[in-house]
Each structure stands twice: as structure tokens, then as C-alpha cells.
Amino acid sequence: MSWFSFRTDRREAPAHPVAPPPAVAAPEVHRSLALPAVFEALSRLPKANILDLGPALGANVEHLSSYGCRLTIEDLFLTKTSVAEGDLNADLFAELLPLPGGPQFDVVFAWDLFNYFSRKELAHLTARLRQACKPGAQVLAFLWIHKSIPAQPIHFRFRGTDELVYDRRTALERPGPRFQPAEISQLMSGFHVDRSFLLRHGIQEYLFVRE
Amino acid sequence: MFSNKKEEPAPHRPAEPVPAARPATPASSSHAPAPPAETARRGERATIGPSIFIKGDLTGDEDLVIEGRVEGKVDLKQNNVTVGKNGRVKADIHGRVVTVEGEVDGNVYAHEQAVLRQAGAIRGNISAPRVVLEDGSRFKGSIDMETKETARPGAQGAGPAPAPSPAKPPEATAAQAAAG
């Protein structure tokens, strides 16, 4: 299957063949308490190397363009939905995130992606991020604390330097991973939590910094 | 205009707008001087039709619309290149403004702007001072964006200062997140 056919081939089957799917909520705007720190760091870097693990969104590219950066987009959820279970291993992450010159990224936008990988897959991903991030690099990640979370990652769009538009792609839900703090520390070994904020709508924002 | 090899030439290209034939002007004409070739071609647009498959390098000095298949290299640095909805390009593209509505597997180098339309897909890197990605478009690769020192938000301290509060406990931070 070619990369171009990812989207057309991955249509999700409805949960029930008769009942219409629940309506998708309109995009919401939420303040981010970790995001200003990321943009503050970006404004200091002459030409930051950014890794966005979400989909390519025009608003985000437009926003980041004002920082004169190099932006790499690797939609990992799209990749996950297009490979067989168990194939999302260290080799595949190495292929998806090649590092010819060693650690190269200053900022990684992981968004809420960590919620959608198994513990094993996530261990492979964070191991690759450890290799990919320069010392001092920031990783912005959102973890749901609810039992039930959206069935697909949210599309986050920058709105200024401290707000995000949350665009849910589906009204369907799935069980949340409910990571424990010790688990997060273990998964993100090699990083420390620079700041962490629990937001009222059930997302915990983490800003990890590579040691 | 192309230094390429047409492997499957189409019998005709009905949809292609045919530019009006220019009357040949003798070099020794004493009337108004003939415009330079570059000027004369400005504003013209060539189209590679849907049934055309070109393998090789494309060069020239007029705008190009690709609705067919191209493999090789597209080098029109001074002109606009559009990969139409039916276009399939497996090549690096150099152009002034590069617009992609079809599919590109290769790097895009735009001297002014690269535009990826909603139906478009690029697998490769984009290098351009300005990049527009429409939502719904598919992109996999890197975007190299030119530094704009004057436009950098927060460069003069205008951005909101982050609260230097490492790893605050959830209870303490929830109150701060009232806007969230």
C-alpha cells in the first residue's frame, strides 16, 4: 500500500451499523500552561529543529514559520493505523525518525499521542526520542487522566503562544491508559519533568526536558 | 521546452490551452524590436495532460501545470509549477511558486512559496520562505522555513513569560488552569 493511500484505506468502521455515530463536538479553545515555555525557548533559538508527531496542520506550520525553524512532521498515529500490531517496534521508529547526524531536535510536539500507544510501543518511541533530542530539548506531551478518552488523537492547533484549539476528530471513545507518575518517569528516563499542569478538562500537560 | 523523453505520447491533448501562435519576426526588422524570449514567454503556461508520462528532466522558462505523470526532475526556478489534481510527480521540483494539488514523491524547492492544497500530498522535504498547508492535505517530511528575524514572536520579550514552576502537583496547578 502506498503512502498516498493511507487515508483512503483506513476508514474507520462505525461502532454500530445502524445507529448514527454521535456528533463530533465543535473545536474548543483551551489555555495551555506549558506552551509559553516552548515558544519562549523557540524565540531564543536561531533556527530550531522541531519534530511534530501529529498531522500536518496548516495553522501550526504557519505559526511555526515565524520562528524560522526546520519542522519535521511525522504523523505517528497515521503510521500506527497503517501497520500491523506489533510492527511498531524500535526498528520502525528508527526508520520513521532517521538521525543521520545524531540528536537533532530542539523541540518535540508529542501532543496526546502517548495515550494511543501500548506500553511496549511507547517504550520504543520514547527510547527513540531519547536518541533524537539534543540535551536541553523540550518534549510537550499531554496525558489524559480520564478513564475514557477520544478514540483518536485530537488535532491541536496553535492560537497565539498560550492557547490551543482542540479539534476532536471523532465522538467515539476508548479506554484511557491512566499512566501512573512512576510509569511516566520510567518511560521518559533521560528526561526530567520541567513542568506539569493538570488542566480542568482532564489533560495533564507535561513539559519534559532532555538531560 | 522540455529536454525529456516522452515514453507514452498522447495522441492529442484536448484540454490544453494552446497559446496563440506568435508571428515570426525577422531579426532585421526595422519595426518595434522583438521582445526577448524570456519576456515573451512570461505569462505563458504549459500543461502536461493527464495521459502523458514523462521520464527525465524538465527545464524551461514558462509556467507549468502537471496533470500527468512525471519522473525525474522539474527545474523551473523562475516559474510557477502546479501539480494538478491528476498529477503524479516522482521528482524534485524547483520553482518560484510550487502548488501541489496532486501527489508528489520528492523534494519541493520553492523560491517564493510552496502551497499544498487540501487534496494534495507530498512525501519529501519542502524548502521555501513561505509554506501553506491546507487542512486535509497529506505531508510527510521536513519543512525548512527561512528565518524571519523581524517576525519572531517573543524576540523582544513580547511573549508571555512562562511560570517557572517545575512539576507542580496537580491540585496546585488545577486552579491556575481555570482558563483551560
Give the pLDDT score at A86. 82
Say if pTM beats, i.e. exceeds, 0.80. no
Q: Is B165 on the interface with A (CB under 8 A)?
A: yes
Tell me the per-residue pLDDT of A36-57, one tens digit each, with 9 for 90 and over.
999 999 999 988 999 999 999 9
Nearest Cα residue in chain A from B128: A65
Closest CA to B143 of A57, A134, A137: A57
Say if the Cβ atoms of B149 and A200 lie within 8 Å: no
Say if the Cβ atoms of A199 and B174 lie within 8 Å: yes
Give the pLDDT score at B115. 95
Provide, as residue numbers in chain B, all residues whose Cβ is less than 8 Å from the Cβ of A4.
103, 121, 123, 138
Give the pLDDT score at A51. 96
Q: Is B158 on the interface with A (CB under 8 A)?
A: no
Give the pLDDT score at A60. 94
Q: How far is A3 from chain B (nearest CA, A)?
A: 8
Provide the grid cell at B150.
523581524
Provide, as residue numbers in chain B, all residues whose Cβ is less than 8 Å from the Cβ of A32.
180
Say if the Cβ atoms of B140 and A75 lie within 8 Å: yes
Give the pLDDT score at B29. 38
Provide, as residue numbers in chain A, all residues whose Cβ is less than 8 Å from the Cβ of B176.
33, 197
CA distance B33 to B26: 10
Tell me the per-residue pLDDT of A121-174, one tens digit each, with 9 for 90 and over.
999 999 999 999 999 999 999 999 999 999 999 999 999 999 999 999 899 999
Tell me the per-residue pLDDT of A62-106, one tens digit each, with 9 for 90 and over.
999 889 899 999 999 999 999 988 888 999 999 999 998 888 999
Say if the Cβ atoms of A58 and B134 lie within 8 Å: yes
Q: How far is B89 from chain A (nearest CA, A)?
A: 12
Provide the grid cell at B31.
519595426
- HEC letters along chain B: CCEEEECCCCCCCCCCCCCCCCCCCCCCCCCCCCCCHHHHHCCCEEEECCCCEEEEEEECCCEEEECCEEEEEEEECCCCEEECCCCEEEEEEEEEEEEECCEEECCEEEEEEEEECCCCEEECCEEECEEEECCCCEEEEEEEECCCHHHCCCCCCCCCCCCCCCCCCHHHHHHHHHHC
Nearest Cα residue in chain A from B173: A197
Q: Is the pLDDT higher at B63 or at A4?
A: B63
Q: How far is A133 from chain B (nearest CA, A)?
A: 16
Say if the Cβ atoms of B145 and A71 lie within 8 Å: yes
Parts of chain B with a pLDDT under 50: 1-40, 148-151, 154-180
Whether the per-residue pLDDT at A196 is higher than 80: the answer is yes
Say if the Cβ atoms of B133 and A72 lie within 8 Å: no
Across the interface, which of A58, A201, A204 has its CB nearest the CB of B133? A58
Q: Give the phi and the psi of residue B142 in degrees, each rounded to 5.
A: -120, 150
Say if the Cβ atoms of A30 and B132 lie within 8 Å: no
Say if the Cβ atoms of A72 and B142 lie within 8 Å: yes
Say if the Cβ atoms of A195 and B139 lie within 8 Å: no
Give the pLDDT score at B41. 56
Give the pLDDT score at B101. 97
Say if the Cβ atoms of B160 and A62 lie within 8 Å: no
Residues of chain B numbered 40-99 and touching chain A (CB < 8 Å)? none
Give the pLDDT score at A23. 78
Say if the Cβ atoms of B162 and A58 lie within 8 Å: no
Evaluated on CA atoms A54, A56, A60, A65, the torsion sign reads: positive
Question: Domain residues of chain A, as ranges?
Answer: 32-210
Give the pLDDT score at A201. 92
Instruction: Give CA separation, A60 vs A25, B61, B98, in Å.
Output: 21, 34, 20
* ipTM higher than threshold 0.95: no
Give the pLDDT score at A2. 53
Task: Tell which CATH classification among 3.20.20.70, 3.40.50.150, 3.60.9.10, 3.40.50.1820 matches the domain A32-210.
Answer: 3.40.50.150
Most A CBs within 10 Å, among B107, B112, B133, to test the A interface: B133
If DSSP codes are grouped into helix, strand and coil, which group holds residue A49? strand
Most B CBs within 10 Å, among A66, A162, A194, to test the B interface: A66
Least confident residue range of A8-17, A202-211, B42-51, B85-94: A8-17
Say if the Cβ atoms of B166 and A194 lie within 8 Å: yes
CA distance B16 to B19: 9
Give the pLDDT score at A183. 93
Give the pLDDT score at B43. 64
